[in-house]
Structures are given as structure tokens and as C-alpha cells.
Amino acid sequence: MTQDVEIAVVVKGVTDRAIRVNHGAPDEVWIPISQISDWCDGPDKSPGYGTTSIFVPEWLAIDKGMV
């Protein structure tokens, strides 16, 4: 099992299957909701909620250029 990492992000978009986030890099990335083990923010998880954090597998964070 891979270790999860916590990434600070700003949610920019949400679909039924993924969220689009800005993690401080020039490009935004899509993260599959199925790969998020925890999502720390408001109850509605809506875009523009502000800075929040997500917990994703380390391999995915590396693949998406988030770490």
C-alpha cells in the first residue's frame, strides 16, 4: 500500500468523478475523486471554497507534479 500525502490546494472545479485543483503551480490538474482518501474543507466541497487540503497517494502526487 502506498503512503498518502497531504497537498494544499484551491478547488477550481468539481465533477462527479474528479476535482480540478490549483496547487501553486502554473497549471491546474484534475484529480480523480476515487484517489482522494480525505478532503478537508467545507460541507459542500464547492469550487472557489478557498485553500483546502486533499490526501492522495504519493505516486499520484508525483505523477501530477504536486510534490
What is the number of domains present in the chain? 1
Residue 25 pLDDT class (50, 70, 90 cuts):
confident
pLDDT (0 to 100) of residue 28: 94
| Residues spanned by the domain of 57 | 4-63
Q: Sheet containing 38-40: which strands, arranged edge to edge? A: 29-32, 18-22, 4-14, 51-57, 38-40
pLDDT in tens, 39-51: 875 545 555 567 7
pLDDT (0 to 100) of residue 32: 96
H or E element, residue 44: none
pLDDT (0 to 100) of residue 47: 54
Task: Tell me the pTM.
Answer: 0.81
